Structure 1
Amino acid sequence: MADRPESESRKLLGRLRDALAEDTAGQERLDRITQLIATSMGTEVCSIYLFRDEETLELCATEGLNPDAVHQTRMRVGEGLVGGVARTSQVVNTDDAPSAKGFRFMPETGEEIYSSFCGVPIQRLGDNLGVLVVQSKDARSYSADEVYALEVVAMVLAEMTELGAFIGEGAAMGARHQQAVTFKGGSAQEGAAEGHVWLHEPRVVVTNPVADDPETELQRLSDAVEELRVGVDKMLAGAARGDKEQLDVLEAYRMFANSKGWMKRMEQDISRGLSAEAAVEKEQSTARARMEQVTDAYLRERLHDLDDLSNRLLRILTGQGSETGADLPADPILIARNIGPGELLEYGRSLRGIVLEEGSVGSHAAIVARALAIPLVVHAERITTEALNGDHIMVDGDQGAVHLRPDDTVVAAFRDKIAMAAKAQERYTSIRDKPAQSRDGITVSLQMNAGLMADLPSLPSSGADGVGLFRTELQFLVRNQMPKRTELAQTYSTVMDAAEGKRVVFRTLDIGSDKVLPYMAPQDEPNPALGWRAVRVALDKPGVMRMQLQALLRAAKGRPLTVMFPFIAQYDEYRAARAEMDKALEREHILGHAVPEKLEVGAMLETPSLAFAPQQFFEEVDFLSIGGNDLKQFFFAADRENERVRRRYDTLNVSFLTFLEGIVNRCVTTKTPLSFCGEDAGRPIEAVCMAAIGLRYLSMRPASIGPVKSLLRRVHLNEVRDVIIEARERGDQSVRPAVMDYLRTRD
């Protein structure tokens, strides 16, 4: 076969296609394929191993080994030569298998008489499905052309496995994309949702991996690549001329689209018998496998560019994808590897839930999902390769769990949970217009967090007293260029109109860390959360801050205005930011514009250092808001983006509550209004404890106001405070158990 690889591989692929077209059961079809490969390759053995589960391979068909071993022989990933191929996704080719590193003797197969071994991964787009093996008695090392032919065959087998061609006997041959699967990820937005899958980047299914006419396929590939290049050129022409970073990315994109090496490899695949689609996907699988091994961030990004180009090329060749006019289901659950805030906002409130393979609790997508009150699970690994459009899916944002194609037991339990939540919501609606007042007469002001115009309609229905935090960065994040002052002024004015006189606290631009503007040069920082972000950026580059402050002053049109600076770490930073506000106010006076009848300027306390600022700071600032998410991660030195540690430390830890109480006491002394803003404010147990230590303003997502108000109205806050003090004196690490015991005694 080594002297005429192209014709032999094409013949073999043709025979494979014929075998797959036969009306035979899955096992029969697999047996026929192993016979064909062994005969064509001139080997005594050909075996196909498929994954039984994520860690176990099973011998599913063989020509040459003991047939009784089929569906009996199993091995773990990494075990033996076959397991090694599965673990590394690399070819193993040796003329002396028993002496090769990692060899494992399996007496039930009768393979001890075979010296040579060649194993190639059966994979599709980085998704390992199994291993294809040939073996011979004579000590031979398979040629590069023979290995190549095996890789092409393995790729076709992967496509057929994907399409369910081998469904039949044996646990390892269950229907792909038909079984129930549960994914455990991280909770980025709470809530539960049931619906049907909508893939943000639809999975392209190649149904014709083998082709008879190479010339036709080469022409199809050439036409599709030309269409792809024209599309990339249009993207470049439409890019902002002054945006060097965006232009650099698109130039790299065009470089790949015009790569002769990329094109040549695909043409070679077609000459060996693959269709144009299969040739593209074979190159894409190779790039995905390389991406898994590469640690360099730049190279990974370039391989990601190539992956994206391959997807575009496949959609051109097959006509598959969202652009073909497929309709969004009535109850869509969005599935994506990752997604930007602008793309997510295009879907808007039509989504029931969101599941991402990547993402983080502080990502742009999470911010938008929280603003839209859509359940979001992140780090659901491999879900984009498992889910298909239209699949039934259930998302548990509280537990970070996703049930794809769930069985009846899971469906029943999940629907019970949703029904209970709906019933609780009815109860919360009944107290919407009542105050959040404890049984001993202490009233707590519950306010909502917002960041989008879409949030404001929920202000009256939520029962919130106002907007305790309006995140202004979202108007910057969803654009490809800096917004104009007039545009911002109009947005802020509309927000104040929608609030109908209720107080809105506008937080100035909080960028950096995980929130990088598309038109801003990214900063290569070892720890962005502790780096150049928020007010630090604003003070170093004050032009944007001045523009935003002017927009806010003009939006007020003489009405009361409340502005808050984020991530203040020391008194001088607040004084410098306040000075910029005073300059902006003076300029508006000079220009003859209306100025706010009342102006409140505050700061977010997100670093432990600010809790120990001089007394003058607490006297000078109009109000303070504890930014609980950041403060907690810095207090415990536990990155909230790190799933290993972010849940390790309890908000109700005695040391953290004592620290918060110290801030409360300083603000009481100086009569400085103090609020707590963050995820923990919206958790009823945490909210009750915060109110018990003296916090009287809590800001949270709209959906949390009902549950928090309900619990606050059931308890005596002074009694909760006594429970906290007793737990502290006992030396408890957290007050949670004691508070939970107290709450169980309440009706």
Structure 2
Amino acid sequence: MLNTLRDITQSVASAHTLELALESLVIQTKSAMETDCCSVYILEQQLLVLSATDGLEKSAVGRVRMPMSEGLVGLVAEREEAINLADAHLHPRFKLFPEANEDEYRAFLAAPIIYQKQLLGVIVVQQAKARQFNEGEEAFLMTLAAQLAMAIRGLKRRAEVHSVDSQVLFHGTCASSGVAIAHALVIGGEISLSQPEVTGTDIDAEAQRLRQAIGRSQDALLALAQRFEGDQDEELSSIFLALQTLLDDESLGGDYLREVRLGWSAESAVSRVSLRYVAQFEAMDDAYLRERASDIRDLGQRVLRQLIEPGRMNLDPDKPVILVTREADTSMLAEFPRQKLAGIVTELGGVNAHAAILARALGVPAMIGVEQVLQAELDKKLLILNAGRGLLMVSPSPSVVDEYRNLLSAQKAMARQYAEELKEPALTLDGHRIHLYLNAGLMSGVATDIAEGADGIGLYRTEIPFMLQQRFPSESEQIKVYQSVLQSAEGKPVVMRTLDVGGDKPLPYFPISEENPFLGWRGIRLSLDHPELFLVQLRAMMQAAGDSDKLKILLPMVSSIDEIDEALLYLDQAFNELKADVNPALKRPPIGVMLEVPALLFQLDEVAKRVDFVSVGSNDLTQYLLAVDRNNPRVSGLFDSFHPGILRALRRALKECSDYQLEVSVCGELAGEPMGALLLVAMGYTQLSMNQASLAKINYLLRRVERRELEQLLDLVLQMSNGQDARELVREFLSSRELASILG
């Protein structure tokens, strides 16, 4: 029975159209269940439409339509549960459709097809003989309906996208707010290094294709090297130049071509050579040589991308695109000149995935968790991306396009208005000073951001330079990066977070494979297990700061007092060694911890005895308190930082930190959202750290409200039973003060 279920589901999922999928479904289900009839009804505009049948009159397909208030099929849809009747004619909801020619059927079994609470349709089996379908048959049909839901949803969306009259909406989670209007560029995500072994029919033609793909890959690597050289990052520049050289005829490029000469297609040749070398390097004893396997894999995938998706990255600079892909990575975004990238839409990823972090740093609208968007065949279609509202519109009408163009113009005008006030301090109307800091991870733009009004860097993500390397950066390399950050801050405080990898932020040269990475080996746990890496980073940070008092060090993912104590021992060790051997004037920096693991909420008295400050990571704190994986599209709708429980936890954290005279700030995404910033200020937070794009907007907003009024608003918000009602209250507050436009 399991094999039958699998075969039917795979057949439906592999169909090119919804019509073919449903036709295959009814034929196979009728055969598998040995019934006289199987039919599928699809919900369209609140009507259940007979969409495929094996047993009813074929001409009735598309003609039989019923609201959910009519018929037995409507009853199944209305109740959203299976119905099993020995004689359907005896049921009061039975309705005969003469055009379907179903009057001979008595036994009736139907199950709803539901995908994430959304009714898609109903599958029905019938028999002429009056009998009750047994429990096994009922279980089979219900299981089949559940398994089919995702495939039918994807095929239905694809059909909607290709409908001439249809404007299709996709929903997702905002990773970087903003609006974009552009045509789609669909890239199929990661290219598998394992390609089918196919022989080439024309060796010369395959060799030419391969040479062109290698050439385009080398050009892209050279452009990256020159870009980083221009940013005075010699280390990254040299890495890309070295990778470019590996594609020469004397190296991998020559091996690829020799494989083609042996009769393989270009894709097969690259795959065979790459897999062979990857296996050889991974088997080596020397750690450095083992790491070279990642270089071989990266190069193979680059060349395969040029073969499989030729010219996809070589776009007309005058035509920005919205990138649609399964999961964007750093290399993919780095290869896009900023002026060509209007927006990003991905099926996978999280709001703190490092591609999302890059998108926010670049100021590019980005939306994640858009299920089945790749199946919809959006390439070259006009899209409107409203990332802030989690909406993607496909083939919008001219009037909608005009409306959004006007919205973009208005947003640009508002952005200029926000920027004009950024030089002024964030001071509420009743005189409360709120310090606004920058969340940073990329060097580009940091100096400008600080000069334009941030009170300092509230969170510098040190993992970003680690991610851009092909190996762990050395102590001297890290010193150079950290010095640049401190210099860019122009004498303002800088909070540097120690390495926070794991979860959705893996290092390409240090893979971590875990079933549940967000509850696994990440943050301070990894650093304490690798003191040789931790000590190097601590030493580099302190040497970069020298005798300055502007550096603060932040420990991520702390879940116990013991972890703090152990980390402080390593800090003391690094400090004492440097003070004795390198710089007698060295100053010990203040130490803080991220408050993101809920257990630490109940140990702040002990935390206060050991560290100087706390930085609240609202993203992970929300994830752990609600038990929601924010990277999982199936439950991402439950991830809500405005949940009353989350807001109460944030208020409690501030109160306890104040009681223990512990400096506290918020560096999670909530601080950079207009509604979130208002509620945090209402609680009494005076230090908020956010991404570059939010600074001017939040400064503008806070200068137009009174904290006294916000406190009254917070009292009402905390009485709400859910996050949506909380948002509506804040939205009404902003509307009453003619500030709702700031929500975008």
State percent identity of aligned pairs. 31
Counterpart pick for 2:169 among 157, 164, 182 = 182
Counterpart pick for 1:568 among 549, 553, 558 = 558
Matches within 5 A, 1:467-506: 467-506=457-496
Taking a change above 3 Å as real, the CA distance of residues 661 and 497 of structure 1, as seen in their structure-2 partners, is: same
Q: Does 1:722 align with 2:709?
A: no
Taking a change above 3 Å as real, the CA distance of residues 475 and 591 of structure 1, as seen in their structure-2 partners, is: same
- CA contact 1:539–1:577 (8 Å) conserved in 2: yes
Deviations 1:570-593 (A, max 9, x none): 222112112111111112123224
Unaligned runs of 5+ in 1: 1-50, 60-64, 76-104, 111-170, 205-213, 256-304
Deviations 1:534-575 (A, max 9, x none): 001111121111111122122224333211000111222112
Look up the match of 1:120: none
Look up the match of 2:117: none
- CA contact 1:52–1:173 (8 Å) conserved in 2: no
Look up the match of 1:342: 331
| SS of equivalent to 1:568 | coil
Look up the match of 2:418: 428
Q: Does 1:191 align with 2:178?
A: yes
Q: Does 1:673 align with 2:663?
A: yes
Give the residue type in structure 1 aligned to 2:572. D
| SS of equivalent to 1:439 | coil
Equivalent-residue separation in structure 2 for 1:741 and 1:405 (angstroms): 32
1:508 CA displacement: 0.6
Q: Does 1:367 align with 2:326?
A: no
1:611 CA displacement: 2.0
Counterpart pick for 2:613 among 623, 626, 648 = 623
- CA contact 2:579–2:586 (8 Å) conserved in 1: no
Give the residue type in structure 1 aligned to 2:170. F
Counterpart pick for 1:548 among 537, 545, 552 = 537
Counterpart pick for 1:510 among 475, 500, 507 = 500
1:362 CA displacement: 3.1
Look up the match of 1:322: 311
| SS of equivalent to 2:557 | strand
Taking a change above 3 Å as real, the CA distance of residues 243 and 468 of structure 1, as seen in their structure-2 partners, is: farther
- In terms of mean alpha carbon deviation, does 503-512 or 554-563 score higher? 554-563
Look up the match of 1:134: none
Q: Does 1:231 align with 2:221?
A: no
- CA contact 1:202–1:389 (8 Å) conserved in 2: no
Equivalent-residue separation in structure 1 for 2:271 and 2:736 (angstroms): 66
Matches within 5 A, 1:373-384: 373-384=363-374
Matches within 5 A, 1:195-234: 195-200=182-187, 225-232=264-271
Give the residue type in structure 2 aligned to 1:369. A
Q: Does 1:661 align with 2:651?
A: yes
Deviations 1:268-295 (A, max 9, x none): xxxxxxxxxxxxxxxxxxxxxxxxxxxx
| SS of equivalent to 1:194 | strand
Q: TM-score, normalised by structure 1?
A: 0.63
Taking a change above 3 Å as real, the CA distance of residues 253 and 365 of structure 1, as seen in their structure-2 partners, is: closer
- CA contact 1:394–1:403 (8 Å) conserved in 2: yes
Matches within 5 A, 1:252-401: 316=307, 321-322=310-311, 327=316, 329-347=318-336, 349-350=338-339, 351-387=341-377, 390-401=380-391
Equivalent-residue separation in structure 2 for 1:426 and 1:248 (angstroms): 51
Taking a change above 3 Å as real, the CA distance of residues 540 and 429 of structure 1, as seen in their structure-2 partners, is: same
Give the residue type in structure 2 aligned to 1:401. L
Q: Does 1:441 align with 2:431?
A: yes
Unaligned runs of 5+ in 2: 1-41, 67-95, 102-157, 192-198, 207-259, 739-744
| SS of equivalent to 1:433 | coil
Deviations 1:571-629 (A, max 9, x none): 22112112111111112123224764461211111122212226342133111101111
Give the residue type in structure 2 aligned to 1:377. M
| SS of equivalent to 1:411 | helix
Deviations 1:649-689 (A, max 9, x none): 65344443333222222222332211011111111222122
- CA contact 2:554–2:591 (8 Å) conserved in 1: yes
Give the residue type in structure 1 aligned to 2:172. G
1:369 CA displacement: 1.4
1:449 CA displacement: 0.8
Equivalent-residue separation in structure 1 for 2:728 and 2:189 (angstroms): 46
- CA contact 1:619–1:672 (8 Å) conserved in 2: no
Taking a change above 3 Å as real, the CA distance of residues 228 and 596 of structure 1, as seen in their structure-2 partners, is: same
Equivalent-residue separation in structure 1 for 2:589 and 2:466 (angstroms): 24
Deviations 1:152-172 (A, max 9, x none): xxxxxxxxxxxxxxxxxxx98
Counterpart pick for 1:538 among 510, 527, 538 = 527
Equivalent-residue separation in structure 2 for 1:342 and 1:313 (angstroms): 15
Equivalent-residue separation in structure 2 for 1:687 and 1:399 (angstroms): 18
Equivalent-residue separation in structure 1 for 2:614 and 2:377 (angstroms): 46
Give the residue type in structure 2 aligned to 1:189. S
Equivalent-residue separation in structure 1 for 2:384 and 2:434 (angstroms): 35
- CA contact 2:294–2:509 (8 Å) conserved in 1: no
Taking a change above 3 Å as real, the CA distance of residues 178 and 203 of structure 1, as seen in their structure-2 partners, is: farther
Equivalent-residue separation in structure 2 for 1:724 and 1:56 (angstroms): 48
> How large is the Cα RMSD of the aligned pairs?
4.8
Structure with bigger gyration radius = 1
- CA contact 1:187–1:361 (8 Å) conserved in 2: yes
Matches within 5 A, 1:612-651: 612-613=602-603, 615-648=605-638, 650-651=640-641
Look up the match of 2:693: 703
Q: Does 1:604 align with 2:597?
A: no
Give the residue type in structure 2 aligned to 1:227. A
Equivalent-residue separation in structure 2 for 1:469 and 1:177 (angstroms): 48
| SS of equivalent to 1:416 | helix
Give the residue type in structure 1 aligned to 2:438. M
Taking a change above 3 Å as real, the CA distance of residues 658 and 187 of structure 1, as seen in their structure-2 partners, is: closer
- CA contact 2:426–2:699 (8 Å) conserved in 1: yes
Equivalent-residue separation in structure 1 for 2:623 and 2:356 (angstroms): 17
Equivalent-residue separation in structure 2 for 1:650 and 1:669 (angstroms): 28
- CA contact 2:623–2:630 (8 Å) conserved in 1: yes
- In terms of mean alpha carbon deviation, does 669-678 or 226-235 score higher? 226-235
- CA contact 1:682–1:701 (8 Å) conserved in 2: yes
Deviations 1:94-120 (A, max 9, x none): xxxxxxxxxxx999799xxxxxxxxxx
Matches within 5 A, 1:9-88: none
- CA contact 1:469–1:506 (8 Å) conserved in 2: yes
Q: TM-score, normalised by structure 2?
A: 0.63
Equivalent-residue separation in structure 2 for 1:512 and 1:484 (angstroms): 20
1:243 CA displacement: 5.0
1:707 CA displacement: 2.3
Look up the match of 2:518: 529
- CA contact 1:332–1:353 (8 Å) conserved in 2: yes
1:353 CA displacement: 0.8
1:647 CA displacement: 4.0
